[in-house]
Amino acid sequence: MIFTDTSKLNFAEHYPARPLVLDHQLETNELFALERLVELSKSLPQNRVEYSSGKVPVNQDPETTPENGLSIEETILSIEENGSWMVLKNIEHDATYKALLESCLGDLGAQIEAATGKRYRQEGFIFISSPNSVTPFHMDPEHNILMQIRGEKTMRVYPVNDPDILTPEMHEAYHTGGHRNMVHKDEFETKATAFHLTPGKALHVPVKAPHWVQNGDKTSISLSITWRSEQSDKEADIHLMNSILRKKGMAPGRTGNHPLRDNAKAFGYKVLRKLSR
């Protein structure tokens, strides 16, 4: 068992729309020792390792993110002092980590499927970051639980349906190839909820809820477990349909206000996708 019974009960009440802090039992797991993570980084396809300087502002332009000048192994082993940010992507390529990911998600499987239907594309990401590094403001397309293993971080999460932060056009641009990073404005701050994560704590982040992360003053290691569902696919399809309608000069309106219209758009996009294959 990875998550506590209380966390599982609370998760059922909050998933999929609301953020929630959960308790887990991975903080002493040896799969997150730095030497073991070097081994993992060597077993992954090289395009699955991304790293850079972690000394960036919350509004970092993804085109100009500075490099740290080190190899992957050097970055991991000297993470305490090199001022870097690294992610090992799709750790499910490695059988041992795949099994770990499945244990985590299996723990919450019944709650997930009851709320959002069949789950698939289970993917894991390990973030290794230096003291005080920043993950800029962005959103992600999947259901996500960020599990803090070592060190501390504060994640600020913003509402997903606030058009001042995320306009319909931004949703559509994101699903048609736009970058995950977003522009952060000071006036958003009153709408943020800050979650302080310590080892043994995890945070459920709803699909596409904008967020940014500030590390504490120690090295941080966290595991992000993600999955897609019938519901997250449908959400994407509605925005993709809206994008087509907008390009044809129509005003597709906001999602969420008219469930029947949203269903029709998602269905319409599915048909178009099938026809275009």
Q: Please tell me the distance from the alpha carbon of residue 215 to that of residue 152, in angstroms, as a whole number.
A: 6
* Residue number closest to Fe ion, CB atom: 140
Query: 107 or 140: whose CB is closer to Fe ion?
Result: 140
* Minimal distance, residue 35 CB to Fe ion, in Å: 26
Nearer to Fe ion, 235 or 262 (CB): 235
Residue 140 binding Fe ion, by CB under 5 A? yes
Could you count the other beta carbons within 10 Å of the beta carbon of residue 142?
18
Q: Which amino acid type is present at position 113?
A: E
* Pairwise CA distance, residues 59 & 186, whole Å: 11
Residue whose CB is less far from Fe ion, 140 or 233? 140
| Shortest distance, position 138 Cβ to Fe ion, whole Å | 6
Nearest residue (CB) to Fe ion, 92 versus 140: 140
Question: Which residue, 140 or 237, is less far from Fe ion as judged by CB?
Answer: 140
| Nearest distance in Å: CB 254, Fe ion | 24
Block residue for tokens 């970051």: 129
Minimum CB–partner distance for residue 128 and Fe ion (Å):
15
C-beta of 213: minimal distance to Fe ion in Å? 7
Q: What is the nearest approach in angstroms of Fe ion to the Cβ of residue 86? A: 14
* d(C-alpha 52, C-alpha 265), whole Å: 39
Within a 13 Å sphere around the CA of 151, how many CA atoms are in the beta-carbon half?
24
Q: Does 142 bind Fe ion (CB under 5 A)?
A: no
User: What are the phi and psi torsion angles at 213 (to 5°)?
Assistant: -130, 135
Strand order in the sheet with 211-215: 134-138, 211-215, 153-157, 193-197
CA 176 to chain CA mean position, Å: 18
Contact of 215 with 171, CB cutoff 8 Å? no
Nearer to Fe ion (CB atom), residue 157 or residue 241:
157
Residues in contact with Fe ion, shown as a per-residue x/- string from 90 to 129 under the rule CB under 5 A: ----------------------------------------
143-150 and 201-205 beta bridge pairing: antiparallel
CB of 270 to Fe ion, least distance (A): 27
Count of residues that bind Fe ion according to CB under 5 A: 1
Q: Which stretch binds Fe ion (CB under 5 A): 58-66, 134-142, 187-195, 242-250?
A: 134-142
The smaller minimum CB distance to Fe ion, of residues 136 and 252, is found at: 136
Phi and psi based region of residue 249 (left: phi greater than 0; alpha: psi -120 to 50; beta: remaining): left
Binding site for Fe ion (CB under 5 A): 140
